[in-house]
Chain A
Amino acid sequence: MSEVVVKAPQGHIEVKNFSLSYDSIEGPVEAVTDTQIHVKPGEFVSIVGPSGCGKSTLLNAVAGFLKPTTGIVTVDGEKVNGPSAERGMVFQQYSLFPWKTVRENVEFGLKMRGMPRSQRERAARTLLGLAGLEAFEKHYPEKLSGGMKQRVGIVRALATGPKVLLLDEPFGALDAQTRVIMQQILTNMWQRLKISVLFVTHDIDEAIFLSDRVYCMTARPGSIKAEIPIPLERPRQQSMMMSSEFLGLRRGLMSLIREESIKAMGGELNDMGMQGLNIELHGHSLADVI
């Protein structure tokens, strides 16, 4: 642990007056509109919202892969102008380099920074140890389970000591048991490193369990529908998920999301010619039925 430098808290993300449109044949597609979010230094913030509402778009703009159509993204007051090692990212798809061993993957960012070989080997070993992966340092990613791949992905993103960590549904492809373990591991690492985290998910339990604050997005074009603080105390235990406090938060978020999901699906159902089924798509009546 002594090898991993704990930096002074920083990594203040601010997204102001943000909107982003994709160009397409039928004209611009507005994916995200009129959005303001922020993440305070050391804070764990989640974004939830129905499928296709623009969560990935927003996260990719913070990472620097996409330019906002209007508005601005800053980290510690500096405008985001492209991807950088200051903002680590974990993707929904497995994104380890197949031609590098687990340790070489973790070392990659350090190598880019010009750290000498022996030093980065030691740093990578320490970090892998923290994630319980030291036995697999010489394995190629292909041989790892999905959960291990994402764990290595997180370790790799953290190795360079970024100011913020961005995660786009990193556990989406994992089974329920593995997810729970991964959530614990992520929480542990976050608490040790005191890093700001922006986490995209559509799993409400996951968002509540992990976060200090949750943003709920509307259906496309996405904007922030609600901001919900999560006052559950830390460290959090799996058993808390049964507490009335947790369940209350869950119920609230659930109904917010459900409204938006139905709005998002409404268009599709109409497109499919299902309006003849006489389903009331925009009121709460269907929400109660489903």
Chain B
Amino acid sequence: MPASTPPASPPSFSTLTLRWYRLNRGGLRATAIGIISLLAFLLVWHLLTTYRVVFFVRFTNVPSPLAVYASFTKAIHDPKFLLHVLLSCRRIFFGFSLAAIVAVPLGLIMGRFKVVHEIIFPVAEVLRPIPAIAWVPMAIMLWPTNEQSIVYITFLGSFFPILVNTLHGMSLVDPVLVRAAQCLGARERSIFRDVYFPASLPHIFTGLTVGMGVAWVSLIAAEMISGQYGIGYFTWEAYSLVQYADIALGMIAIGVLGLGSSMLIRGAGQLVMPWRLK
């Protein structure tokens, strides 16, 4: 409980370095091992492809890491490749944002008002198990443009994970916190805003992270089936055009974009939930 007394003199640079090292030893170790294991992965990939290993799985046509790197350096100067990436990102942005804008408030309201839950939940439960890709033909019929139907598929993919997790968060709100707020004079609106909403935020962000993952899955599938642009279409097209290195490049680009977008969400989560920082 006592406030720590300030040290007599500022610690020297070397003590600070040592302390920093001690505090971050675990993290440094994890980073080092991570780098080594990535390099090992690349090496194995390199060996399997240069020696064209065939052992149940055939590596005969699989591009080597160097070939993929070469096609990468070419692609980043190719406006068409950048357009593919950009369009995919735009679809994710619209589809995912729409899903979040609809699913989070819907989940909050369903969690708070039983009637809304009773009305909406059965419909949601019936639609939820249908994979977004199964919606492709229907989406093409529903929406006038191809672009709209792809965004719709992306929307559907992320909608249910976000809704379900928001509902879950609402169901776990500690009733004693609601009571505490009521005893302090909070009315329905502020109980919603100051208790239910922040209490559900961790689960909402779980939903957003999962939803983002499913959004990419749905987007790539939709682009492969019905797209003319987009990184999913690029990957599929590379196969048709026998550009094997581009297949791997497309896959890696999808992986990197997916990773980047979930990191964005994690960062946003840390911004809006500072109390969860360790």
**Chain A residues packing against B (C-beta within 8 Å):** 63, 65, 82-85, 87-89, 91, 93, 95-101, 108-109, 112-113, 135, 140, 142, 145, 148, 156-157, 160
Contacts and interface: CB of A to CB of B under 8 A. Distances in A.
Contacts of A82: 182
A85 B176 contact: no
Contact of B179 (A83, A100, A160): A83
A95 B177 CA distance: 6
**Majority SS of interface residues in chain A?**
loop
B205 to A, nearest CB: 13
Interface of B: 1, 3, 174, 176-177, 179-187, 190, 194-195, 198-199, 201, 273-275
Given A89-B180, A97-B195, A109 B185 contact: yes
A273 B179 CA distance: 39
Nearest to A98: B275
9 contacts: A63-B179, A63-B183, A88-B183, A89-B180, A93-B176, A95-B180, A97-B177, A97-B198, A99-B201
B276 to A, nearest CB: 8
B195 A112 contact: no
B201 A148 contact: no
A85 B183 contact: yes
Given A142-B275, A145-B1, A108 B194 contact: yes
Contacts, number: 67
B203 to A, nearest CB: 13
Lowest 5 CB-CB distances: which A-B pairs, in order? A85-B185, A109-B184, A83-B182, A112-B185, A99-B198
A91 B176 contact: yes
Contacts of A100: 275
A100 B197 CA distance: 13
B273 to A, nearest CB: 7
Contacts of A142: 275
A165 B1 CA distance: 26
B194 A97 contact: yes
A157 B174 CA distance: 18
A91 B179 CA distance: 9
Contacts of A148: 1
Nearest to B278: A142
B43 to A, nearest CB: 44
Contacts of A84: 183, 185
A72 B187 CA distance: 24
B197 to A, nearest CB: 9
Given A82-B182, A83-B179, 20 more contacts: A63-B183, A83-B182, A84-B185, A85-B185, A89-B180, A93-B174, A95-B176, A96-B180, A97-B177, A97-B194, A99-B273, A99-B275, A101-B275, A108-B181, A112-B190, A140-B275, A145-B1, A148-B1, A157-B183, A160-B184
Contacts of B3: 135
A154 to B, nearest CB: 12
Contacts of B179: 63, 65, 83, 89, 91, 95
Contacts of B185: 84-85, 109, 112-113, 160
A75 B77 CA distance: 77
B184 A85 contact: yes
Contact of A83 (B174, B183, B190, B273): B183
B190 to A, nearest CB: 6
Contacts of B199: 99
A98 B177 CA distance: 9
B196 to A, nearest CB: 11
A132 to B, nearest CB: 8
A113 B187 CA distance: 11
Contacts of A88: 183-184
A101 B198 CA distance: 13
Contacts of A65: 179, 182
Contacts of B190: 112
